[in-house]
Structure 1
Amino acid sequence: MFRRRRTWAMLGALAAIPVLIAVAVRLTNGGRAGQGPAFLDRITENGLFVVLTALVLCTPLFFPLTVGVVAGDSIAGEAGLGTLRYLLAAPAGRVRLLLVKYVGTAVFCLAATAAVVLAGTAAGLILFPVGEVPLLSGDVVDGWTAEGRILLVGAYVFVSLLGLAAIGLFISTLTDVPVGAMAATIMLAIAAQVLDALPQLAWLHPWLFSHWWLGFADLLRQPVEWTSFGNNAVLQLGYLLVFGALAYGRFTTKDILS
């Protein structure tokens, strides 16, 4: 996967987002309080907020787009290229192939999150001052402690993407057309967020895989509030188990013709 130019192009595009945010804020002397994404108006005070602003922007849109491409292509891409039959002819077997494809997608989720965190940190350090950081609880921590919190937020975002990766893997076993699997995965990510925004469906919200995606604000309090992290991890694990089982059931009984 990491030998493909497409993978590096997506990682490069993700890394460019915090850089563009930092440059735009630098050239315009920042944004007004209450306008734009969360933390945007604080970037001029401390460069570490570049990372947080970029994660707020990337989590609902850009991460699902890129993860949807990788997950949707995982099995369907091999079928579309005509290489799936040859892979299964090897002693590896179908179950091992599914596991390897999911692990590869999970590694991409980690790389995507790391690209935004590292690029945002570098851009913030270069273009803005860095010092003590005020937390959402009102407490103030030093730069190193704040960077540790940012890494926790990155871990939170990484965990948030694992459920979507499992959904994409399952959809990828349903078709031999990778573009269709990619589009379906991305559309499901968008649909889940739309449903989560409707107050009439409040009973459904806790079951949507996107419900806790932006709950990492609790990690920016003193002391750290772990409830949202735990709820998010349990929810993503549930999606992983359910759609992993569905992918297993589908793929192990599927006739491979290409």
Structure 2
Amino acid sequence: MAKDKKTSSGGGILETIKTVVYALLIAGIFRTLFFQPFWIPSGSMKDTLLIGDFLFVNKMAYGYSYASCPSLYLPGIGIDIDASDLCGFLDGDNTRLFGTAPERGDVVVFRHPVTGRDFIKRVIGLPGERIQVREGLLYINDEPVEIQDDGTFTEIAEPQGPQRLRPRCANGPVGDGGACEKEKLVETLSNGVAHSILNISNQGSDNTPVYEVPEGHYFMMGDNRDNSSDSRVPAVAGGVGFVPFENLVGRASRVVFSSAGSSMLFFWTWRGDRFFEKIE
């Protein structure tokens, strides 16, 4: 009987290990092929996306490339697994399996061309187009986009998210707990996509040279125009530069829930008005 119990115990442990392995494999396949969770870490896409928004990225939207493979970055415990570590053999030809081009105005998660980290921005310029910003106004192929005043975006001046980032304010400096304000506008792109953008101040990124988007690449911008590291600055200089087609991970279409605290686990800090909010 003792031997039977030992055998049974050993078999139970083996079955548990197999169950865990199968579960991890299924989760890995699901994340690679269908949806990837993404938590907004910065304010570059305000007020479309807020720090602490949690969403799923649709990986089926643009087909598959090396960037579709999952990555895991946990610097606190020394884990840094990039998509190229797992699927780097697919990198380099700037093509996709079942590839579908993004549309202007899509909110997209992509791999940074230099660091490989996940970024989220809006697709502004398509391959072969001319993009420029003059006095804060976006021009596409030398034509200005339509903008309309939309009041003021107001948030509390306080550290936000796990990185405890402080918002930039047009009415700054603002002390802790004060009302941090930014000018809010609605920008309508040439294909009719209308979305919110924020303006903080007049700065260098409000006047740019003309960017000619190479074939097979896209020009990305954040909706929080004065607080976004995007295609207006080359990737090697700390920006994003032109993003290759193969670096796209997927399209973001809806916020699942949103946490105003330093952790998404702090349910008491969840924003009640952002459950399943559509991303426009």
- The structure that has the greater radius of gyration is 2
After TM superposition, the score normalised by the length of structure 1 is 0.22
More strand per residue: 1 or 2?
Answer: 2
More helix per residue: 1 or 2?
Answer: 1
